[in-house]
């Protein structure tokens, strides 16, 4: 029998090598068709007496990334359609669909012939669950091999037997840690946890897998044998008596109860370990069905799985533009930001010229890249040879003439219009016709900067976030005259350096910084009201933010906030900044010299290691303090999230953001907006626009007009609309302009 996505070759020893190699995909993923073929392979190998065992592997560099977009979308579409057509049976149909993969893997596990998974690359989600259902697991020791059950990061959990098998193979504490965080394992760590049997050289992978079968591998899972006990003895042991009472408390400390899927993992493991394996799978299937119906799961999967992939694959790329053939990139400005941009560019295999005012400054910039390479080698994330190759692609120079054959030049100089104007003129004096100029600016409108250009249609903004090598988001900013070619080149470049782009139209602060400073400004209001600083920071974390607004302000620099406020007043007038905010920041910077982390003192104090940072005690002396008992923490959480979401809605209303996917993905990747909400607009859609408007109106009465709902929100509330309904990203091909 022939298969579309698999080849099956049986050798003289009766071992069938099943190779997964989807012809139309760069990575193997699960689809309904793939699962149908796997089931057919199981039936065929069981029926064929010549087959003594099966080795399952991948024909691609990666083993598998898990489920396909279409499969995930299909589950949600099916649930929605069934709830309309047949609400009484909708959940039952979801339950049955959710169990398809789980019971297929169980079929492999109980088929009577030994299966060995030969893991040659990244093995995630359902693919790792399939491997766990095999009787033997061999992994290559290549650095590219990563194993994980990361589903909790997109609002669901390992629902194809993962919670039951992992907790029966390794101790419960390690199992819970791995699954509730989505932790990625090296092959060596997976072997230490008993999740992999062998780790071998890449060229020995298939040989070792076949040898396991030749050596008499039993086609029976440990839990199917009489007398099986889970590692550590299961639930009713002294060790478990210490683990299980603490586990929910630890989880709540880490997640503030915002992630239902993480709690479901605890329940699946705790309940599942007390019953036979098949009953444990049913328990898991039941909880998975519940979690898939939550707002958190729907929103997180949409933003952090579906939208993230769509944007990364060029969802906003203008139609009709040929794929860019970038062979040389220029970066002007060899400070920390410019040097980091050069590093990620070279890491993508692109030659890059790094320019500064003199060779000393240019070489200093390259030393930043050298430091990053040294760190990566030290952590085992890069080989010495790869590091040398990367650095060889970075050429420091003071000669602007070296940009004459560059396809794209990125300016990353000081955030000053006059400085940028001088750079634009120098670059354009040598830049070839058709090459693109990009400004890495965080606040200055691109349209204004483009007035210094002789070819504004080739002028665009590409806003990186610091640290560049870690932050996955870039904002691509389209000016009034930016052409489609410039946008296409910018998006192609961002794709090449493996970042996720969001396309925004021109405005002061673009999208991310507009939202970030709303968050920070709300903290200023709270300080001025006398809310204890520790309550502000803790409320933010309880709301789901990765760091509190005062900590974030220290990271971006308190004196930068001052510069931005002063620039806003200069450009827009005194009413552009709340006077009390200006007074607070002037006092912090000018009187107290508290500029943030960079000078060791801001809203926090930063003592020498190993001591940790702590809130500056002097904050409580700036304003009369409220008693903690008089402060409503729920309202603090609402204020911090609502002020960001309102700003995101304003950018949509102003036409700055035209695709709700970009607001959601940008808010999460850009500054960590409560991921369980699915992003700033999904936060509004999730509670319902009408409910959000009512919340805004209540907050506005007490805390100020900046909480007043916008005309767009009021109109959407009256019509019962959502952002993804009114601004449907799939309804038509959209362009940025």
Domain limits of the chain?
A: 6-293, 329-508, 513-655+659-726
- Identical topology for domains 6-293 and 513-655+659-726: no
Express each pLDDT in 599-610 by its tens digit. 999 999 999 889
Q: Is the pLDDT of residue 194 over 90?
A: yes
- Choose the catalytic residue: 80, 135, 197, 463: 463
pLDDT in tens, 376-430: 999 888 889 999 999 999 999 999 999 999 999 999 988 888 899 999 999 999 9
Stretch 48-58: mean pLDDT, rounded?
96
Closest CA to 95 of 351, 247, 288: 288
Task: Mention every residue, 6+ apart, whose C-beta is less than 8 A from residue 591.
Answer: none
pLDDT tens digits along 495-510: 999 999 999 999 888 8
CA separation for the pair 570, 572 (Å, rounded): 6
Handedness of CA 242, 243, 245, 247 (dihedral sign): positive
pLDDT digits (tens, 9 = 90+) for 690-700: 999 999 999 99
Percent of all residues in the chain with a pLDDT value above 70, rounded to a whole number: 99
197 is annotated as an active-site residue: no
Query: How many C-beta atoms surround the C-beta of residue 634 within 10 A?
Result: 10
- Find the length of the chain: 737
Output Rg (C-alpha) for the chain, integer angstroms.
Answer: 28
Rounded Cα distance between 119 and 56, Å, is 8
Confidence of residue 258 (pLDDT cuts 50, 70, 90): very high
Q: By the 8 A CB rule, do 431 and 437 touch? A: yes
Rounded to whole angstroms, the Cα distance separating 358 from 68 reads: 50
Query: What is the pLDDT confidence band of residue 735, given thresholds at 50, 70 and 90?
Result: very low
In CATH, what class is 329-508?
alpha beta
Query: Which structure tokens are listed for 206?
Result: 């298939």
Class of domain 6-293: alpha beta
| CATH number, domain 513-655+659-726 | 1.10.1040.50
| Alpha-helical regions (H) of 215-294 | 238-255, 260-272, 277-292
């Amino acid at each position: 029998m022939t298969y579309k996505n698999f080849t099956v070759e049986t050798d003289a020893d009766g071992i069938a090598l099943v190779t997964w190699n989807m012809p139309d995909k760069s990575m193997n993923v699960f689809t309904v068709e793939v699962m149908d073929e796997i089931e057919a392979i199981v039936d065929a190998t069981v029926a064929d007496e010549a087959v003594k065992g099966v080795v399952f592997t991948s024909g691609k560099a990666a083993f598998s990334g898990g489920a396909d977009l279409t499969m995930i979308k299909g589950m949600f579409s099916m649930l929605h359609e069934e709830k309309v057509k047949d609400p009484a049976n909708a959940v039952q149909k979801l339950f049955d669909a959710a169990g398809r993969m789980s019971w297929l893997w169980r079929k492999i596990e109980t088929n009577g012939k030994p299966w060995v998974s030969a893991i040659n690359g990244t093995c995630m989600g359902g693919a790792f669950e399939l491997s766990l259902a095999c009787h033997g697991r061999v992994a290559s020791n290549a650095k590219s091999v990563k194993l994980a059950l990361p589903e909790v990061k997109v609002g669901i959990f390992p629902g194809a037997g993962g919670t039951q098998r992992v907790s029966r193979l390794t101790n419960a504490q390690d199992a819970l840690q791995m699954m509730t965080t989505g932790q990625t394992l090296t092959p060596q760590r997976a072997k230490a946890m008993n999740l992999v049997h062998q780790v071998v050289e890449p060229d020995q992978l298939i040989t070792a897998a076949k040898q396991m079968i030749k050596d008499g591998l039993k086609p029976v899972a440990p839990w199917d044998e009489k007398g099986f006990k889970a590692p550590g003895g299961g639930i009713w042991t002294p060790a478990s008596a210490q683990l299980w009472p603490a586990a929910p408390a630890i989880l709540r400390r880490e997640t503030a109860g915002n992630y239902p899927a993480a709690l479901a993992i605890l329940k699946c493991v705790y309940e599942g370990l007390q019953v036979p394996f098949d009953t444990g799978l049913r328990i898991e299937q039941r909880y998975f069905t519940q979690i898939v119906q939550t707002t958190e799961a729907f929103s997180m999967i949409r933003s952090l799985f579906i939208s993230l992939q769509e944007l990364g694959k060029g969802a906003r790329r203008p139609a009709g533009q040929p794929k860019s053939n970038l062979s040389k990139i220029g970066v002007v400005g060899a400070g920390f930001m410019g040097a980091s941009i050069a590093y990620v560019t070279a890491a993508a295999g692109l030659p890059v010229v790094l320019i500064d005012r003199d060779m000393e400054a240019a070489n200093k910039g390259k030393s930043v890249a050298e430091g990053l390479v040294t760190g990566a080698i030290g952590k085992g994330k890069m080989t010495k040879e790869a590091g040398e190759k990367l650095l060889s692609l970075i050429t420091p120079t003071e000669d602007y003439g070296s940009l004459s054959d560059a396809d794209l030049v990125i300016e990353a100089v000081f955030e000053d219009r006059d400085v940028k104007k001088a750079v634009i003129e120098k670059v354009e004096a040598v830049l070839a016709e058709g090459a693109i100029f990009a400004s890495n600016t965080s606040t200055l409108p691109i349209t204004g900067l483009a007035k210094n250009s002789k070819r504004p249609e080739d002028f665009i903004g590409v806003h990186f976030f610091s640290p560049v090598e870690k932050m996955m988001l870039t904002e691509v900013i389209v000016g009034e005259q930016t052409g489609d070619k410039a946008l296409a080149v910018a998006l192609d470049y961002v794709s090449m350096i493996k970042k996720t782009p969001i396309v925004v139209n021109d405005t002061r602060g673009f999208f991310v910084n507009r939202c970030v400073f709303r968050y920070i400004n709300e903290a200023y209001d709270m300080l001025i009201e006398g809310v204890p600083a520790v309550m502000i920071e803790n409320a933010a974390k309880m709301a789901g933010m990765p760091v509190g607004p005062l900590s974030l302000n220290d990271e971006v620099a308190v004196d930068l906030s001052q510069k931005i406020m002063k620039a806003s007043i200069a450009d827009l007038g005194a009413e552009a900044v709340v006077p009390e905010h200006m007074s607070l920041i002037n006092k912090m910077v000018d009187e107290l010299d508290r500029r943030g982390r960079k000078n060791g003192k801001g809203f926090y104090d930063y003592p020498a290691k190993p001591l940790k940072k702590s809130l500056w005690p002097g904050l409580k002396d700036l304003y009369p303090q409220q008693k903690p008992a008089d402060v409503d923490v729920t309202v603090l959480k609402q204020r911090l999230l609502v002020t960001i979401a309102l700003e995101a809605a304003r950018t949509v209303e102003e036409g700055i953001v035209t695709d709700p996917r970009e607001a959601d993905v940008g808010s999460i990747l850009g500054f960590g907006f409560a991921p369980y909400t699915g992003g700033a607009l999904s936060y509004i859609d999730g509670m319902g626009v009408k409910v959000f408007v009512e919340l805004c109106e209540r907050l506005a009465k007490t805390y100020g007009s900046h909480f007043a709902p916008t005309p767009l929100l009021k109109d959407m509330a009256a019509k019962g609309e959502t952002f993804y309904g009114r601004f449907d990203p799939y309804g038509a091909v959209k362009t940025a302009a």
